[in-house]
């Protein structure tokens, strides 16, 4: 492990200032991802800014009738929060599908969104990886690529984003509140994470001197008709091969609105609004769900060990929508 300096920030402006004034500085929250990566020399910050004492641990109502989750609320406290369980059960289920009870007690909502990919080569410093060392190449493309992307990948990186919570937030159209030296702003969740393109080392559109202060959930929570379906190699303590967050608004068996977000398939949670729109005004039925699933995976491209994900995604979308619509076959 390399030497680094450490500061405990007393408020948000102080944390932002520490990031602006120190090159190669990183925020530390729960530490469940950052410390692992520092121990194996994948992340090498020279300065750590501890934000755990900032006043960002509350869940509050927003003026529009939604909820604001402070960036330091733990994943466990979010998933079991009375209002989240009642109004956004899709988010509770997505969070509880991730990691373990111990990790969720420590992991924060802000840190969850910024966790790094679980690509095996990213973790192995003896291999080439454009995300870890830009310009060295991508070992996964011709390597073992079982947990890699089928959508939105590039010739430089085929990694996936590992967060379950982010997939739930994508289906809910959440916004990420961030603070920087000049401005406070919110970023729609779908614009928060990036596709790899020719700069896979950059995971998100968060500035280097910005911190996440909260997550805003809009009023609509799809609490009547929702599901989070996670397919993985083990029943627990494993990242998604393919996951689906689905929310439906139904009136007399007819769909007023549909949301479908996929995890485990791309460098960011994957939504396709034009495919979701196909369901508007249609009956909730296997046939219609099948059509939208086909549209979702159109253009998907797999690699030697992960082509199975295309069919898995298609079937998972149909199953998730049937469950959300409470259709038993």
Q: What is the DSSP letter of 326?
A: T
CB of 2 to ligand SF4, least distance (A): 21
Report the distance separating Cα 329 and Cα 312, nearest Å.
19
Q: Which of 59, 67, 90, 107 binds ligand FAD (CB under 6 A)?
A: 107
Q: Which of 84, 94, 138, 318 binds ligand SF4 (CB under 6 A)?
A: 138
Query: Nearest-CA neighbor of 8 among 54, 44, 74?
Result: 54
Q: Which is nearer to ligand FAD, 212 or 284 (CB)?
A: 212
Stretch that binds ligand SF4, among 63-71, 122-130, 164-172, 182-190 (CB under 6 A): 122-130
Q: Which is nearer to ligand FAD, 34 or 275 (CB)?
A: 34
Sheet of strand 242-251, all strands in order from the earlier edge strand to the far edge: 226-231, 242-251, 254-263
Please state whether beta strands 211-217 and 67-70 pair in parallel, antiparallel, or not at all (unpaired): antiparallel
Beta pairing partners, 217? 67
Q: Do 263 and 166 form a contact (C-beta atoms < 8 A)? A: yes
Q: Which is nearer to ligand SF4, 99 or 158 (CB)?
A: 158
Q: Which is nearer to ligand FAD, 66 or 98 (CB)?
A: 98
Which 234-273 positions form the footprint of ligand FAD (CB under 6 A)? 239
- Name the binder of 164 from ligand SF4, ligand FAD, none, CB < 5-8 A by kind: ligand FAD
Q: Is 264 left (phi over 0), alpha (psi -120 to 50) or beta?
A: left
Report the distance separating Cα 105 and Cα 100, nearest Å.
9
Which 109-138 positions form the footprint of ligand FAD (CB under 6 A)? 110-112, 114-115
Query: Nearest-CA neighbor of 226 among 100, 110, 85, 99?
Result: 85
CB of 237 to ligand SF4, least distance (A): 21
Binding to ligand SF4 by residue 140, rule CB under 6 A?
Answer: yes
CB of 256 to ligand FAD, least distance (A): 30
Count of H-run helices and E-run strands, the chain: 13, 11
Binding to ligand SF4 by residue 159, rule CB under 6 A?
Answer: yes
Report the distance separating Cα 244 and Cα 262, nearest Å.
5
Q: Do 42 and 22 form a contact (C-beta atoms < 8 A)? A: no
CB of 188 to ligand SF4, least distance (A): 24
Q: What is the DSSP letter of 28?
A: E
Binding to ligand FAD by residue 71, rule CB under 6 A?
Answer: yes
Binding to ligand SF4 by residue 139, rule CB under 6 A?
Answer: yes
Which 175-234 positions form the footprint of ligand FAD (CB under 6 A)? 211-212
Please state whether beta strands 242-251 and 226-231 pair in parallel, antiparallel, or not at all (unpaired): antiparallel
Q: Which residue ranges make up the site for ligand SF4 (CB under 6 A)?
A: 117, 119, 121-122, 129-131, 138-140, 157-159, 200
Q: Which residue ranges make up the site for ligand FAD (CB under 6 A)?
A: 26-34, 51, 71, 75, 98-99, 103, 106-108, 110-112, 114-115, 162-165, 211-212, 239
């Amino acid at each position: 492990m390399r030497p680094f300096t450490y500061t405990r920030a007393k408020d948000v402006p102080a944390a932002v200032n520490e990031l602006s004034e120190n090159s190669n500085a990183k925020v530390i929250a729960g530490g469940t991802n950052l410390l692992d990566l520092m121990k194996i020399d994948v992340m090498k910050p020279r300065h750590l800014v501890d934000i755990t004492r900032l006043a960002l641990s509350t869940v509050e109502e927003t003026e529009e009738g939604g909820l604001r989750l402070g960036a330091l609320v733990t994943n466990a406290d979010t998933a079991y929060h009375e209002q989240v369980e009642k109004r956004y059960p899709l988010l509770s289920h997505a969070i509880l599908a991730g990691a373990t009870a111990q990790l969720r007690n420590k992991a924060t909502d802000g840190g969850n969104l910024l966790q790094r990919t679980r690509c095996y080569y990213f973790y192995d410093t003896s291999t080439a990886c454009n995300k870890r060392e830009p310009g060295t190449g991508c070992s996964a493309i011709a390597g073992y690529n079982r947990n890699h992307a089928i959508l939105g990948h590039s010739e430089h990186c085929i990694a996936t984003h590992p967060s379950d919570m982010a997939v739930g937030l994508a289906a809910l159209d959440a916004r990420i509140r961030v603070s920087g030296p000049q401005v406070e702003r919110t970023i729609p969740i779908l614009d928060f994470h990036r596709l790899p393109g020719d700069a896979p080392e950059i995971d998100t559109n968060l500035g280097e001197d910005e911190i996440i202060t909260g997550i805003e959930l809009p009023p609509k929570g799809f609490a009547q008709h929702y599901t989070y379906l996670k397919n993985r190699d083990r029943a627990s303590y494993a990242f998604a091969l393919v996951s689906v967050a689905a929310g439906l608004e139904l009136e007399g068996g007819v769909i007023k609105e549909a949301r479908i977000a996929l995890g485990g398939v791309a460098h960011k949670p994957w939504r396709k609004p034009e495919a979701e729109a196909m369901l508007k005004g249609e009956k909730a039925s296997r046939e219609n769900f099948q059509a939208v699933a086909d549209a979702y995976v159109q253009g998907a491209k797999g690699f030697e060990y992960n082509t199975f994900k295309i069919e898995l995604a298609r079937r998972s979308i149909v199953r998730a929508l049937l469950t959300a619509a409470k259709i038993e076959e």
